[in-house]
Amino acid sequence: MITAGLDIGNRSVKAVLLLNDKILSHSIVLAAADSTAAGNQALNEALEVAGLSREAIEHLVVTGAGRHEVSFAQQKLTEVSCDAVGAVWLFPAARTVIDIGAEECRCIKCNNAGTVIEFVMNDKCASGAGIFLESMAKALEIDVRQMGELSLQAQKDLKMSTTCAVFAESEVVSLVHSGEKTEDILNAIHSSITSRTASMLARTGIEKDVLMVGGVARNAGMVDALKREIGLDVFVPENPELVGALGAALHAFKVATDPSVKFLPEVKGHVVETIKQ
Amino acid sequence: MGYQPIPLESWKDCKALNNEYGQRISRGRAAGRLVGWMSAVVSPEITWAFEVVPIGGEWYGAIAADWQQEQVDLSQAAEDAGYSRELCAYARMSLGSMFSGRGPLGDFPKPDFVVGAKGGCNIQIKWYEAIARRYPVPFLVLDTPYSPDPEEYHLEYYLSQLYEYIAFLEEVTGTKTDEEKVVKSVTTAFRSSDVWDEIMELMKARPCPISMKSLYSYMPAIVNMAATPEALALLTKLRDELAQRVEEGAGDVQDESIRLLWEGMPLWYKLDFIKYFHENGASFIANGYLSGWGNIFRTFGDDVPTSFGTKIWTEPNSLREAVLEVAKRYVRGRGLSHRIQSTIRLAQEWEADGVIWHSNRGCKQVASGELDCRRSLQEETGLPTLLLEASMADSRDFSEAQMIARADAFLEQVRQRRRESKNVGKVQR
């Protein structure tokens, strides 16, 4: 049986194909204003890798910020649910999942079945998400992909005093002019994010094993900063940005093989229309 | 299926009574009655025995919040006058209305006297003082004692406060207390509370007979007008309607599959948010804010209510007995432990599947302790919980997309946890 999961994120769209409960293929494409087109592209690329056509898919679940824009999926689920299932499938001992994406940060506590026990979201403040890192990389005139490894060379424990992504740029410029090294500044930036992550974890509670997922998990400096912040090992899967799509695909497999499994009924219409006064 | 509210026969009466409360202001003033701004916990039982027109500040805040775009203007007017955006949104509604001269009833209804009380929250003391000082008019504060375990001397103290309130009303109105009216007013108010308890009890039925969205419209009856025969009649009619629905197995959410406790204040400008949950099969079956206007959380009296139906007040036959009953109602155990116990009790007795907290920006009284409350409830019951940050009366603090994102994840969590507990006998942690 072929099932699929699609994660329509703010910056990238991810697709995962399963053959029963084994990963068959995956793809990542850039997000676009047209979520349906981007979703189709991601799905088609994954199908091409697997050598399959769309008709082969028994059940498709979509998640991510853009899930409501996609009409061709059988089911829609939140990233929270999908992250938990995907994380536990990859790491059966995972009980705390941190997903730092481009524009959101989620902390999730789950059980051994991938069922969510508690969750906290931060989508109000950009200084805890990927776009903050992008703007900091720009301010330091380095490639965002270099941030992680470079920060691991830090010798000094600098502190960022501002908590705002907008004002942080001027603070970084000021640190540069003060002669502080790039690696030390990067370490401070990572620590400022993880201190906010730690506050969120204080609300969900932390239980081992801790797994970090989402695109920002590729930043080794962020993972290291988080480990130091919480005093625990932090594990990162091979393709951390795919965990949401994987979780969606696993939900799809569960539903396709067990019709008694029901999730949140599809939201009727667009959010604004549903609760318009 | 989904949300298909069953028309309420008492709905027209409810709307009429709510309109009447607003119209009393202009009618009463024209008839020479004094208009008094006061907190909802300034014993409406005693107030209604005098020929005055009470305006509940919280009621005004709620209707102002529903005043479409203008409600933001009211907040802005308060902020322009130097009040913080972090201040209670109700206070900003009335202060903004006062400074701008406009509001949901037209002109700002100027007070002839003002009464604050500590029984609601500490903000009310300075909020009402600000109104009184502007005109200026006579101002009294009722100092409700706060104690986790009130004793006789707390009661005696509040009795003296209530007598001071009566003397204040005599002075501002230039009339003597009509003792019979006070007895009647208090009795009617307490009977209304009993009926309210019955309504809360009926919400335990499956499906829940009424949407919380509709129930909020009946709040002026129990909060501001409980001492009037009209309010008692309305609440009795509603109770009878809901009892009928319970017998027939009818409810506003036909495919109800999730039952939730809502803790905290309503979103007065966005009550439609409740519909979102209804559309997804979830009813709100209890709310501490609603239940508090009945008797179940009273902790002072000869019989501490441990179950519904325990009669905890005595029909007064004299002014002294009436005022004593009022004092017993307001001098109740307060503190975090009481809050935690009340919330757990609601969640367990009403058999909630989950609890949503509205973390009301600017509401220190309610916000303080809510995380501890939430944690205690989780430890005690294992129920999934959700904290939503918004404001009861400032729509600028409501982010629809964010609220929906959290609601979606929470409803999925509730369903998953319930299915899991059915499969394995208990929720796995």
A50-61 pLDDT per residue, tens? 999 999 999 999
Query: Which chain A residue is nearest to residue B387, measuring alpha carbons?
Result: A120
Taking CB atoms and an 8 Å limit, are A115 and B415 in contact across chains? Answer: no
Q: Which residues of chain B have a CB within 8 Å of the CB of A265?
A: 280-281
Six token digits for residue A229: 């912040």
Query: Least CB-CB distance to B273: which of A79, A263, A275?
Result: A275
d(CA A67, CA A59): 15
How far CA B169 is from CA of B49, B138, B165, B297, B387, in Å, comes to: 10, 10, 6, 29, 42
Residue among B272, B279, B402 whose CB faces A123 most closely: B402
What does the alpha-carbon distance between residue B427 and residue B429 come to, in Å, rounded to a whole number?
A: 6
Chain-chain contact of B411 with A267 (C-beta, under 8 angstroms): no
Distance from C-alpha of A156 to C-alpha of A175, rounded to nearest angstrom? 12
The distance of B386 to chain A (nearest Cα, Å) reads 8
The pTM of the full predicted model, rounded to 2 decimals, is 0.89
Give the distance from residue B416's alpha carbon to the nearest chain A alpha carbon, in angstroms: 6
Distance CA A137, CA A131 (A): 10
Is A264 in contact with B408 (Cβ distance < 8 A)?
yes
Q: Which residues of B touch A124 (CB under 8 A)?
A: 399, 402
- The pLDDT, as a whole number, for residue B212 is 96
CA distance B347 to chain A (A): 17
Q: With contacts defined as CB-CB under 8 Å, which chain B residues touch A262?
A: 415
- How far is Cα A111 from Cα B126, in angstroms, rounded to an integer? 48
Q: Which of B276, B416, B429 comes nearest A274 by C-beta?
A: B276
Whole-angstrom distance, CA of residue A222 vs CA of residue A193: 8
Q: Is the Cα torsion angle A204, A161, A192, A104 positive or negative in sign?
A: positive
Interface residue ranges in chain B relative to chain A, Cβ cutoff 8 Å: 2, 270, 272-273, 275-276, 279-281, 371, 378, 384-385, 399-402, 404-406, 408-409, 411-413, 415-417, 419-420, 428-429
Rounded to whole angstroms, the Cα distance separating A114 from A112 reads 5
Contact B404 A271 (CB under 8 A): yes
User: Which of the residues A88, A206, A271, A272 would you substitute to probe the B interface, choosing the one with the greatest number of B C-beta atoms within 10 Å?
Assistant: A271
Best to test chain A binding among B278, B399, B400, B416 (most A CBs inside 10 Å): B416
Residues on chain A touching B276 (C-beta within 8 angstroms): 274-275
**Would you give per-residue pLDDT tens digits along chain A (277 residues)?**
999 999 999 889 999 999 998 999 999 999 888 889 999 999 999 999 999 999 999 999 999 999 988 889 999 999 999 999 999 999 999 999 999 988 889 999 999 999 999 999 986 676 677 888 888 898 899 999 999 999 999 999 888 876 677 778 888 888 999 999 999 999 999 998 898 899 899 889 999 999 999 999 999 999 999 999 999 999 999 999 999 999 999 999 998 888 666 554 444 433 333 222 2
Chains A and B form CB pairs within 8 A to the count of 80
Please indicate whether, in this complex, the C-beta atoms of A121 and B420 are within 8 angstroms of each other: no
Whether residue A119 and residue B402 make contact (CB cut-off 8 A), yes or no, is no
B416–A111: do the CB atoms touch at under 8 Å?
A: no
Q: What is the DSSP pairing of strand A96-100 with strand A2-8?
A: unpaired
- pLDDT for B326 equals 94
What's residue A127's pLDDT? Answer: 65
Res B322: pLDDT = 96
Residue type at A134 in one-letter notation: E
Cα nearest neighbour of B398 on chain A:
A124
ipTM for the complex shown: 0.82
Mind telling me how many Å the CA of B318 is from chain A's nearest CA? 49
CB-CB under 8 Å, A265 with B400: no
What's the pLDDT at B185? 96
Q: How far is CA B237 from CA B127, B200, B240, in A?
A: 36, 14, 5
The answer to whether A119 contacts B415, with C-beta atoms less than 8 Å apart, is: no
Q: Do B402 and A113 count as a contact with CB atoms less than 8 A apart?
A: no
Q: How far is A203 from chain B (nearest CA, A)?
A: 9
In this structure, are residues A121 and A193 in contact, taking their beta carbons and an 8 Å threshold?
Answer: no
Position A129 scores a pLDDT of 79
Strand locations in B139-257, DSSP E?
139-142
Alpha helix ranges (H) inside B179-228: 179-202, 212-216, 219-223
- Which residues in chain B have their CB less than 8 angstroms from residue A118's CB? 378, 384-385
Q: Which residue of B has its CA nearest to A114?
A: B416
The minimal CB distance from B406 to the residues A121, A203, A275 is found for A121
Residue B409's pLDDT is what? Answer: 95
What's the CA angle centered on A207, arms A202 and A213, to 5 degrees? 85
| 8 A C-beta contact, residue B359 and residue B172 | no
Low-confidence ranges of chain B (pLDDT < 70): 1-2, 299-310, 422-429
